[in-house]
Every structure is written in C-alpha cells, then in structure tokens.
Structure 1
Amino acid sequence: MHTAYVIVTVLAAAWVGFSGFSLLRRAKFVVDPLVEYGVPESWWTWLGLAKTAGAIGLVAGLWIPVIGYAAAVGIVLYFAGAIITNIRARAYSSIPFPLLYMVPVIVAVGLGAAA
C-alpha cells in the first residue's frame, strides 16, 4: 500500500505542478479559458503559485505527513473553486478538467491514510 501511495502522490504532484507551471508560463490552453471565464489577469500568477506550492507540499508530505494533508486540502479547495468558476461562467463542458486534477490528490490522501 505504501508503494501505491508514493507513486500516486508523486504523479498527482507532477500533474498539479504541470498545471501550475503552465499557468505561470501563460500557456495558451490554460490562459484562454481563464479569459473566457472572466478571471482577472492580476490573479494568474498567484493562482499558478498556489498550484505549484500545493504540488511541492504533496511531495513534502511523503516525509512530513501534515504538510501533505494541508497541501491536499488546499489543492482540493483550489479546484473546487475552479469548478465553481466554470459553473458561474456557464462553461459546463469544462467542469471535468478541474476534476482531473482533484481526483488523483483525493486518491493519494486516501492511500496515505490507509498506509
């Protein structure tokens, strides 16, 4: 179980970290929806840093579990906010995308609790 926890946590962190890095680099596939949803550009750097910090926190949680749990809570709340943003923008077809980042983090937490 511990091996699965480590693998899923590292993959979830890499996935969320990629998302944060893509936002910080202003990748078109990340920025275009933000413009469409009305997210102010002044928030983008902070949002990218929040995702990146969450990814780092997940990895740090392999050694200091409380940091990993705190990072996981932050990531889940972040992507819950993304889902709410999609709903407010009536972009219902985009709702699965935040879930693609949220679910692996939740699975990692579950595996960590079981390990």
Structure 2
Amino acid sequence: MFIATLVLSALLAVAFIGAGVSKVMKVPAMVTAAEAHGFTADSYRNIGLLEIAGAAGLLIGLWWAPLGIAAALGLTALMAGAVIVHVRAKDKVAETVPAVVLTLLAAAALVLHIANA
C-alpha cells in the first residue's frame, strides 16, 4: 500500500507544483484564466501557494502521516472548489476535466494516506 501512496503522492506533487508555480509566477495564461473566473492575479497567486504547500505536504506526509492526510484533504477541497468554479463559469468539458481528475486523485491520495497511517 505504501508504494501506491508514494507513486500517487509523487505524481500529484509534480502536477500541483507545476500548476502552483505557474500561478505564483503569474504566467500570462494563468492571469487570463484568473480574470476569466473572477479572481485577481494576487488571489490566484495565493491558490498557487496552497497548491505548492499541498504538494510538499503530500511528500513530507509519506513520513509524517498527519501532514500527508491534511495535505491530501486540503488539495481535495481546493480542487473540488476548482470544479465548482469551472461549472459555474460554464466552461467547456475539456477545461473542467483536469480539475475533476485532480479532485479524484487527491481523494484517492487521502484514502491511501489514511490507510498507511
């Protein structure tokens, strides 16, 4: 079970660090996306910081279970919020699916982190 937790946590960490850094660095595409969904660039930057912190928490949580559980729970909630934002904005399915997939994967990581605690 630990190997599955390790692999999923590592993959999610890569995804969330990539997404988070692009928000923190205010990549033009992210600024455009933020504004299209009613966020300021600064608030989107804060979301990016949460994504990076969650990624770090998933990895550190492999050795300290409470942090891994908290990080997976936080990322699941963050991505569920992203799904809601996409649905309310009536975005295309292709724009919403990544948030749905990351929500489900973060929830799976939560279950795995709990199982390994």
Relative to the length of structure 2, the TM-score reads 0.85
Written as runs of structure 1 = structure 2, the 5 A alignment for 1:7-18 is 7-18=7-18
What SS does structure 2 have at the residue aligned with 1:63? coil
Q: Relative CO higher for 1 or 2, CA cutoff 8 Å, sep ≥ 6?
A: 1
Specify the alignment match of 2:27 in structure 1.
27
Specify the alignment match of 2:49 in structure 1.
49
* Displacement after TM superposition at 1:88 (Å): 2.0
How many residue pairs get aligned? The number is 115
Task: State whether residues 69 and 114 of structure 2, in contact with CA within 8 Å, keep that contact through their aligned partners in structure 1.
Answer: no
Stretches of 4+ moved more than 4 A in 1? none
How far apart in 2 are the matches of 1:104 and 1:85? 18
Relative to the length of structure 1, the TM-score reads 0.86
Compute the RMSD of aligned alpha carbons. Answer: 1.7
* Displacement after TM superposition at 1:60 (Å): 1.0
Written as runs of structure 1 = structure 2, the 5 A alignment for 1:26-105 is 26-93=26-93, 94-105=95-106
In structure 2, list runs of 5 or more residues that go unmatched. none
In structure 1, list runs of 5 or more residues that go unmatched. none
How far apart in 2 are the matches of 1:25 and 1:35? 15
Query: Share of identical aligned residues, percent?
Result: 28
Task: State whether residues 54 and 75 of structure 2, in contact with CA within 8 Å, keep that contact through their aligned partners in structure 1.
Answer: yes
* Displacement after TM superposition at 1:85 (Å): 1.1
Q: Which amino acid aligns with 1:30?
A: M
The answer to which of 64-73 and 36-45 deviates more is 36-45
